[in-house]
Chains A and B, each alone.
Chain A
Amino acid sequence: MIGNPEFTRNIWLQLSWQRVLGAAVVIGTIYYASTFWGELGRDFASTGGKWLFHFVIGLWSTRRAADALAEEVGGNTWEVQRMSGLSAWEMAWGKLLGGTAYPWLCGFFCLALMDAGLLARGFPRNEILYGNASLVVSGLTAQAVSLSVALILLRKAQLRRRLMVTFAQVCGLLVYANSLFKDVVSLVNGAQEVNWYGHSYPATPFHLASLVVFGCWIWLGLYRLMRQELQYRNWPWAWLGFLAYVVAYIAGFKAGQGQPVTAMLVWPFIALVLLTYFSFLADPKDPVRYRWGFDALRSGDLGRALSLLPLWPISYLVTLLVGVALAVLLSSEPLPPGSEDWLRYVWSSIRPDPQVLVIAALLFLARDLLFLLLLNFGRWRERADLAGLVYLLIAYFPLAAILSFLGSYRLLAIVIPFDDHNAVMSFGPVIVEILVLGVLVQRRWQLRTTVGLSSRTA
């Protein structure tokens, strides 16, 4: 037996000699046929091998990664696994690589087919090597995303539906799509160099290095989700580290080019807003655990309070810090000409002040979180996030569009971040919304956590 029993078990189930032989025969036959068609055959081998790899790893293995968990849950073996002596790391990589062992075997056959075609066409070996590494790292990252999303859905008690497994697969697929995206980008602008923190880097290794680092973060996230599932305490430092990394990574594309600090902070701020939404949606939002966290804080047990702290308040706090810093800096360092074009595109009829929009965005983010929290503390928790997002999307797009068409610009500040050139009118409505929602959330939370509890600890 190989060291990791979870990996071995998956190999037993995945790799029978009939399946291995079948894959080898199919790919071998394609390659053999291609050798008869000269240049066309070599083209076919390289392109076909690559697209087969995309299909096998991008589409199939991401499904297998999510299924590796969904099958355990459906087969009632997951709880037994959670009661085993396997560590979180053994569980994570054993499931991820073991559950996708057969797609990977097929994927490596596809790479061999692609490489044989490329070598026959005279492609440089180092380019082929970079291409292979990029595809493999994309695949590993995409699978980790699929399994991580499946674990998140499991924590939210939503993995039993096949649609949710498909959702996890699609998340992995979107991450895998970066390998296709890279090809498209290089086709469109032919960029060979990337400027990052004032240094020029060749595009291909930079892309690969970025992918490897991002993949490492995803694997770390997967490991920590698995730890959480196995009832280990997690501290929030890794998430804080990830947020810092995202800010630093994105800011690097504007740094060292003589641009103001504000230009460096705009895209990290937007990324942080999105990550706050993500961390909020990923959290099970269990009102009971929130109460435990508050109780721990009240009793001075900071360690327990931190381990119970959801990630979204941390994300919001970091977003708030960056947003406030951006808003303050904008008064002394306006954005360079041209960088506000996207704002004007969105608010075509007016000239919004970026400073006002940043503050309004922070307030609207708080409003959205409170609104979603209110729904999550209600009766239909399992549908709360999806329903809430639909309501918010309606508010942000159709409703805002209708108000614009009707010329009711003054009312826009109720539904979207909007610069009315008047602080009260720009921020007043959303502050009122926050206060009302805050009171409702607090009431509903108390209702959910105290009814039926004894007086000793309630």
Chain B
Amino acid sequence: MIEISHLTYDYPGRRALDDVSVTIDPLTITALVGPNGAGKSTLLRLCAALDRPYLGTVRVNGLDVHDDPRAAHRCMGVLPDFFGLYDDLTVQQCLQYRARAQGVPAEQVETALRRATERLDLTDRLRDKAGTLSRGLRQRLAIAQAIIHEPKVLMLDEPASGLDPEARIALAQVLRRLRDEGMTIIVSSHILAELEDYSTHMLIIRDGRIVEFTPIGAAARQQGRQQIRVTLAHDDTRLTELLQKIPEVAVLEANATMAVVDVIDDADLRVGLLRHLVAAGLPVIEFAPERFGLQDAYLSHVHLPPAAVGIASTAKSPEGKLA
């Protein structure tokens, strides 16, 4: 859906993006994360054809966005962090204007307006001026504007900043629903906990380069792997040794009290693994899927070196298959 190829962009004396290449699949929600100045906003601006790159291309739905920015804008929706609303226009006028500006034919404007306001629950606000709305409502109006032309791709920059918890939950629901209805979404945000609620993939960018692009949460499980945390009631030095002997298991982190392992997402395999540990006499008090959040994943890539989070070798001995 979005193909970014060798994207490079400079500011005076500084390379903001350095040979960035990534392909984002349709019907996904990608969390674009990274420290300040990493290049997130530049990447979004280039994807939205607000700037031209020095090198590289961005294709959205097969269309090179820098060859014909206007045509590309008609198949993408962008929500900037400042919302970009006309305070003196009513909600209805804002949406009518945006629909026409995005190329919706005049005879279809009312249908598009009705659909967008129903999706964002703005039906009873049509006559209110945008400037009189609360921040949460302004955000909903801004999203309604961004999707009124039914774009294939939606890009959001810090959509939840300044929202109360209720509005954030509502935002997560809206984004999940939009994805289910066929949109591919990229969200740039600093609020990792919020991104975790709805993102399917995480794209970490640092110093203008992609550090990691990986599925997370349910999407990661769909790829057939799962992480299991094993905790013992008291220290037992055999834990690491036992786990490393099992070929289906990759030990990610282990000591005498606990271990985190990566296994194929298969119920029988997990049953076998638990039975094996208990049969070996280990005092297992916890055996559960690891809640390895987006925040942990991000921090492991951005702030801490891999060794610090205890990622161990995944080399296995040939023996010790699960019973």
Contact = CB atoms under 8 A, between A and B. Distances in A.
Interface stretch (B93-101, B234-242, B291-299): B93-101
Nearest to A448: B12
B100 A5 contact: yes
A1 B84 contact: no
Contact of A79 (B50, B71, B98, B149): B50
Instruction: Kindly state the interface size class of chain A when it binds its partner.
Output: 35 or more
Nearest to B81: A76
Interface stretch (B51-59, B197-205, B260-268): B51-59
22 contacts: A1-B106, A9-B93, A9-B97, A75-B86, A77-B86, A79-B50, A80-B84, A83-B49, A83-B50, A83-B78, A84-B73, A84-B102, A85-B71, A85-B102, A86-B70, A231-B52, A231-B69, A288-B11, A448-B12, A454-B15, A456-B19, A458-B15
Choose among A81, A288, A292 the residue with the greatest number of B CB atoms under 10 Å from its CB.
Answer: A288
Contacts of B50: 79, 82-83, 231
B10 A9 contact: no
A19 B48 CA distance: 38
Nearest to A450: B13
A385 interface: no
Nearest to B84: A80
Nearest to B71: A85
B70 to A, nearest CB: 5
Given A77-B86, A79-B80, A454-B15, A1 B109 contact: yes
B13 A448 contact: yes
Interface of B: 8, 10-15, 18-19, 48-52, 54-55, 66, 69-71, 73-74, 76, 78, 80, 82-89, 93, 96-98, 100-103, 106, 109, 145, 149
Contact of B18 (A77, A447, A450, A454): A454
Interface in A115-134: none
A163 interface: no
Choose among A75, A81, A85 the residue with the greatest number of B CB atoms under 10 Å from its CB.
Answer: A85
B88 A230 contact: no
Interface of A: 1, 5-6, 8-9, 12-13, 75-77, 79-87, 230-232, 286-288, 291-292, 295, 447-454, 456-458
Contact of A85 (B12, B73, B85): B73
A449 B101 contact: no
A453 B74 CA distance: 34
Given A86-B70, A232-B69, A9 B12 contact: no
B73 A449 contact: no
Nearest to A80: B84
B55 A457 contact: yes
Given A81-B101, A232-B69, A288-B12, 5 more contacts: A76-B82, A77-B86, A79-B50, A85-B74, A456-B19
A9 B14 contact: no
A85 B13 contact: no
Closest 6 CB pairs between A and B? A80-B84, A5-B100, A84-B101, A76-B82, A451-B13, A85-B103
